[in-house]
Amino acid sequence: MTIGEANREALRRIQAGTATLVGLRPAREVVPGLGERTVLHAGPPVAWERMCGPMRGAVIGASLFEGWAQTPGEAIGLAESGALSFDPCHHHRAVGPMAGIVTPSMAVYLVRNEPFSAEAYATINMGQGKVLRMGAHDASVLERLQWMNRELAPLLDDALRRAGGVDVASLIARALTMGDEAHNRNTAATSLLIRALAPKLATTRQGDVERALAFMGASDSFFLNVAMAACKATLDPAHGLSGSTLVTAMARNGTEFGIRVSGTGDRWFTAPAPKVQGLYFPGYGPDDANPDLGDSAITETAGLGAFALAAAPAIVQFVGGTPRLAVETTERMYEITLGEHETFRIPALDFRGTPLGIDVRKVVETSIVPVIDTGIAHRQAGVGQIGAGLAEAPVSCFVEALEAFVAGLPARA
């Protein structure tokens, strides 16, 4: 296969994929290779010693939640002792926003891509304020974690099963006509998901359904994790195609930014995590910010997020800039992508499909790097989100990936 053919096949697989949210299960039951003291995290591999503050905070919170430790000090001791196995979510068909911590007792969404028998996982979004993904781990966080995983998850699972699942790809396509870009803005998608499930949730016989529906509706980010699992489920079948230069994952662990490319297998190409340009909440500024963090760049990799920014003009109130900048960002991303999404379309661009399929060659040729919508976490564990903005992927990852790709090509006859 030529590079062109391999890339066409990679793109075809993404376009032919589906994403159906079918239920939730404790991670230990479904996530492959998740040993009992395994901690999955966002981004490329990173050891405890090099983890950023928010990710360490989330590891502490997860250890308390799992009962592996009784105090933050004990949790730190456990991590330092080497008793925990750290591994990227991406190595286990999972994705997580910000710190992206997944441990065995956490419930995960199951998103299925039927035509390719693929499945991907993500935990439930905790909402705003003090949340595990930003490194918070106080009593309120632990209480919410317990409730989400022991009460909310079975209730949602029951509703999803009785609803026959939810077509996430269609829901995202609709949300793009409603001002979402499915990464930093999930206002419409969260509302549509509640609208779809409310009839079934209202007739559940288990748990505190008023709290469940109020919790789902309290934060516009509720849908984000579902969107991420959907993107992962549709991108994975495009991975591992010999000869393809299509990027199948972009992810950050808060220390490093990494990408994986279809034709270079499971290797990560990394660079220091970039700073985020954006708007800060009152009282915070760039000196407080952790570098870019999270698996949520899977949305940009799948043609959403900043790649669909033109669909979400209102987002500039949250990330900075102007509606014109939003349009220009999407337009620029067409320069480095292999195609246009057939399902995700932008009304304001005359229903043009979003830019889909980042080509490492185009990034290197044009020096145009992928733009990523993102939240900004405080660099210290426990503080939480302090802003939101845009980050630029480091070009060196793409250069390195292209070099490795070329080095791996068979010698010409």
Site membership for a second copy, residue 347 (CB under 8 A): yes
Site membership for a second copy, residue 323 (CB under 8 A): yes
Rank residues 1 and 202 by Cβ distance to a second copy and give the closer one.
202
Site membership for a second copy, residue 316 (CB under 8 A): yes
Rank residues 127 and 217 by Cβ distance to a second copy and give the closer one.
217
Q: Specify the DSSP class assigned to residue 350.
A: T
Residue of 83, 149, 95, 144 whose CA lies nearest to 121: 95
- Minimum CB separation of residue 387 from a second copy in Å reads 20
- Minimum CB separation of residue 128 from a second copy in Å reads 16
Query: Could you say which of 36, 138, 210, 266 contacts a second copy (CB under 8 A)?
Result: 210
- Minimum CB separation of residue 299 from a second copy in Å reads 18
- Minimum CB separation of residue 210 from a second copy in Å reads 5
Please, are residues 192 and 171 in contact by the beta-carbon 8 Å criterion?
yes
Residue of 124, 301, 149 whose CA lies nearest to 225: 124
Q: Specify the DSSP class assigned to residue 411.
A: P
Residues in Cβ contact with 102 at an 8 Å cutoff, skipping those fewer than 6 apart: 27, 31, 34, 39, 40, 41, 89, 92, 94, 96, 108, 121, 123
Name the phi and psi angles at 3, rounded to 5. Answer: -60, -40
Site membership for a second copy, residue 203 (CB under 8 A): yes
Rank residues 287 and 350 by Cβ distance to a second copy and give the closer one.
350
Site membership for a second copy, residue 314 (CB under 8 A): yes
Q: Tell me the C-alpha distance between 225 and 212, whole Å.
A: 16
The stretch near a second copy (CB under 8 A) out of 20-28, 54-62, 194-202, 235-243 is: 194-202
* Pairing assessment for the beta strands 85-88 and 38-41 based on DSSP bridges: parallel
Rank residues 201 and 376 by Cβ distance to a second copy and give the closer one.
201
Q: Which two tokens mark 246?
A: 């299509």
Which of helix, strand or coil describes residue 246? strand
Q: Specify the DSSP class assigned to residue 289.
A: B
Query: Could you say which of 1, 83, 214, 409 contacts a second copy (CB under 8 A)?
Result: 214
Q: Which two tokens mark 123?
A: 């935990």
Q: What is the number of residues in the chain?
A: 413
Site membership for a second copy, residue 195 (CB under 8 A): yes
Rank residues 214 and 409 by Cβ distance to a second copy and give the closer one.
214
Rank residues 286 and 313 by Cβ distance to a second copy and give the closer one.
313
Chain centroid to CA 87: how far? Answer: 16
Rank residues 70 and 203 by Cβ distance to a second copy and give the closer one.
203
The stretch near a second copy (CB under 8 A) out of 21-29, 38-46, 73-81, 191-199 is: 191-199
Rank residues 16 and 348 by Cβ distance to a second copy and give the closer one.
348
- Minimum CB separation of residue 360 from a second copy in Å reads 33
Site membership for a second copy, residue 173 (CB under 8 A): no
Please, are residues 304 and 183 in contact by the beta-carbon 8 Å criterion?
yes
Query: Could you say which of 348, 368, 395, 399 contacts a second copy (CB under 8 A)?
Result: 348
61 dihedral zone (left: phi>0; alpha: psi -120 to 50; beta): alpha
Rank residues 8 and 200 by Cβ distance to a second copy and give the closer one.
200
DSSP 23-38: EEEEHHHHSTT--TTE
Site membership for a second copy, residue 399 (CB under 8 A): no
Q: Specify the DSSP class assigned to residue 149.
A: I
Residue of 132, 148, 110, 114 whose CA lies nearest to 32: 110
Query: Could you say which of 1, 47, 83, 202 contacts a second copy (CB under 8 A)?
Result: 202
- Minimum CB separation of residue 410 from a second copy in Å reads 47
Query: Could you say which of 117, 282, 287, 350 contacts a second copy (CB under 8 A)?
Result: 350
Please, are residues 185 and 315 in contact by the beta-carbon 8 Å criterion?
yes
- Minimum CB separation of residue 179 from a second copy in Å reads 4
Site membership for a second copy, residue 352 (CB under 8 A): no
Q: Tell me the C-alpha distance between 357 and 336, whole Å.
A: 8
For Cα atoms 363, 368, 370, give the angle at the middle one, nearest 5 degrees: 80
The stretch near a second copy (CB under 8 A) out of 4-12, 195-203, 242-250, 371-379 is: 195-203
Query: Could you say which of 322, 335, 406, 408 contacts a second copy (CB under 8 A)?
Result: 322
* Pairing assessment for the beta strands 385-392 and 277-280 based on DSSP bridges: antiparallel
The residues binding a second copy (CB under 8 A) are 174, 177-180, 187-188, 190-192, 194-196, 198-203, 209-211, 213-214, 217, 313-314, 316-317, 322-323, 347-351
